[in-house]
Chain A
């Protein structure tokens, strides 16, 4: 038991060292992630009620249209957004029904090992 605890401790210390080594990079990425989270939140808020097209969302959120499309493509890939009907030359996007929140937030249940 103490052996594994010791390993855990060592592991933690090694992780700390690694984080220290990459400090600057981690800082930069964290800043990017913050922007991304804000953008995703803004886009999703726009979609919350009635959905919208890329130019509409870009106008409302102030995020450039190409970036909005990029986030939508990504969120669509992870099942959070779906495409709705066409509106002029553009498609509208809406939040997915039954957005697979659990996939993203749920923890895998590792306790059910039945062997």
Chain B
């Protein structure tokens, strides 16, 4: 055990270890000779006391530990009992109650990993080794404090669509100051492009007006339209954003065509959005100090390629958003729908345009991308529109060509059924046998025909004569490459922003303090986007609620005496920014040394492995502690 001795010399705080071994009412003691373990522990130098109890987790058991701490008999604690998942927190809190630092604690698992799986003498021998190893680790423990960072009670929301508005309002309602940054002159995002929301039928304008009104009326929220984030610095609780406020040229044109001087701020302009304020004449730059950033950058509608189902080749082929807009702007009371001055007696709606693309079947876009995902909302939107048309214009026949009808949500299957009741005819195609849109013969009554091999008709080819073809286009993420680069945001293979874990941390990014809300993460409908936005808001509120952010103390620490500034650790670090080389003065010389930004350190230890000087380690889980444990395990005598 010479190695161990050397280790001890390098650890300044030499521990006085107390070892507490549990019988677990026979669960342990039936297979492990607990008293023998105790005797062995007593022999170990550095172990001040070794005690046993029928139930160490019971009040008397905990009391015993607390007494030893309070009396100063021990300053390191090892409990040998069941799995740490069950009682590690119990004992840590007992240690805290005794006025000691909870991190001077080590747990030895001699139930699940010894007495329940081994029997006889060997069980006892193994228990002795494991407890001794824990003791060796405990000697190297030092008191730790959770990392606490002051956090600004301020959140910046990027994106003024429905998700951004929802997040902003929720946080303001909880007393957090919010800056809302929107690049266009309008609030409401993509919802402003809709007439009514499926399946509830809520008018989109009402929803936007209500929420935007609440946001603008809230003194806790500052809205910046025509604004772009240009710079980004800092870490959770302390970010600084540089924002430039000026409408892009295209928006300026749009604005002037709307005659902004004639518009009152606070008005909803159909297919534009909620118009909150007049736009500043000249560019402005501002800096926002914030604690948490919520990304609500939304989606854009897929634009079909030229020739995709005849799009841009035949004027009779339009997208669903285009149809919705045309219908809203030309409301008639005719028997037939009228589009661009032509009566629509028959129309085909084709699903999955720009969604569910399959490599090898569908062509990629100019950047080599496929939209392999389902856009989630188009089925309902298409069925809802079809139903509306059939009710308002009974003279217009509708055919829907689909792959799978995905009316998954509440009230959506009813939409599908309602469309069927309204005599919409459904045709089904396989991905590799997409419908074809062709020009009819001159003598034909209808300008276009849609040809499809219909799965429902036993694979027969069916032709539908139509006046109009509507493409149910999917969602694509907005291009936020600048933010992605600036904030180091992870992007998934589908090009949407990628959360840490869809179930454990669904609205969080690996970058601490940056959250996701709405369709920048994945296709969602309005309700789902609002849910995600509120979930992001609650995470922000949790982060900022106490005025500080508290993080685990298990982070890397550099031993400056050993560090030679090679930078190997910086290179190995998995979370960019957590480790940096900084200039500092050592013995009157300016040298490079590694420095940990605790707020960003995950404590994974990737840096530990690469330091040739052993100058960096993870607090609470040091390499030396592991080496000491291995020494115990390999020793000839368990407690030598």
Contacts and interface: CB of A to CB of B under 8 A. Distances in A.
A and B interact physically: yes
Interface of A: 98, 100, 102-103, 106-110, 112-115
Interface string B132-156: 0000000000000000000000000
A103 B25 CA distance: 12
Nearest to A113: B54
Q: At the interface, is chain B mostly helix, strand, loop or mixed?
A: mixed
A94 B25 CA distance: 31
Q: At the interface, is chain A mostly helix, strand, loop or mixed?
A: loop
A115 B51 CA distance: 8
Interface size for chain B: under 10, 10 to 19, 20 to 34, or 35 or more residues? 10 to 19
A107 B26 CA distance: 8
A112 B35 contact: yes
Nearest to B119: A98
A100 B34 contact: no
A52 B499 CA distance: 50
A114 B60 CA distance: 12
B79 to A, nearest CB: 15
Contacts of A115: 53-54, 60, 64
B190 interface: no
A109 B52 contact: no
Contact of B26 (A98, A100, A108): A108
Contacts of B52: 114
A71 to B, nearest CB: 23
Nearest to A100: B119
Nearest to B115: A103
Interface in B12-71: 23, 25-27, 29-30, 34-35, 51-54, 60, 64
Contacts of B60: 115
Contacts of A100: 119
Given A102-B30, A106-B30, A112 B119 contact: no
A5 to B, nearest CB: 25
A110 to B, nearest CB: 7
A110 B30 CA distance: 10
Contacts of B29: 109, 112
A75 to B, nearest CB: 17
A108 B119 contact: no
B30 A112 contact: no
B119 A110 contact: no
B26 A109 contact: yes
A83 B494 CA distance: 44
A108 B30 CA distance: 7
B25 A108 contact: yes
Contacts of A106: 26, 30
Contacts of B119: 98, 100, 102
B53 A110 contact: no
Contacts of A107: 26
A100 B30 CA distance: 11
A67 B451 CA distance: 57
A61 to B, nearest CB: 30
Most-contacted residue by chain A among B25, B52, B54, B60 (CB, 10 A): B54
5 contacts: A98-B119, A108-B30, A112-B23, A112-B54, A114-B35
Contacts of A108: 25-27, 30
A114 B25 CA distance: 12
Given A98-B119, A115-B60, A103 B30 contact: yes
Nearest to B60: A115
Nearest to A107: B26
Contact of B25 (A98, A102, A110): A110
Contacts of A114: 35, 51-53
A11 B386 CA distance: 74
B26 A110 contact: yes
Given A106-B30, A107-B26, A114-B52, 4 more contacts: A98-B119, A102-B119, A103-B30, A112-B29
Contacts of A110: 25-26, 54
The 8 closest A-B pairs by CB, nearest first: A108-B26, A114-B52, A113-B54, A108-B25, A109-B26, A109-B29, A115-B53, A106-B30
A110 B54 CA distance: 8
Contacts of B23: 112
Contacts of A109: 26, 29-30
Nearest to B21: A114
Contacts of B25: 108, 110
Contacts of A102: 30, 119
A71 B295 CA distance: 55
A51 to B, nearest CB: 22
Contacts of B30: 102-103, 106, 108-109
A111 B29 CA distance: 11
A106 B115 CA distance: 14
Contacts of B64: 115
Contacts of B54: 110, 112-113, 115
A107 B25 CA distance: 10
B97 to A, nearest CB: 20
Nearest to B33: A112
B23 to A, nearest CB: 6
A103 B119 CA distance: 11
A102 B120 CA distance: 11
Nearest to B120: A98
A114 B29 CA distance: 12
Contacts of B53: 114-115
Nearest to A79: B116
Contacts of A98: 119
A100 B29 CA distance: 15
A115 to B, nearest CB: 6
A106 B54 CA distance: 17
Nearest to A98: B119
Interface in B336-365: none
A57 to B, nearest CB: 27
Interface in B605-634: none
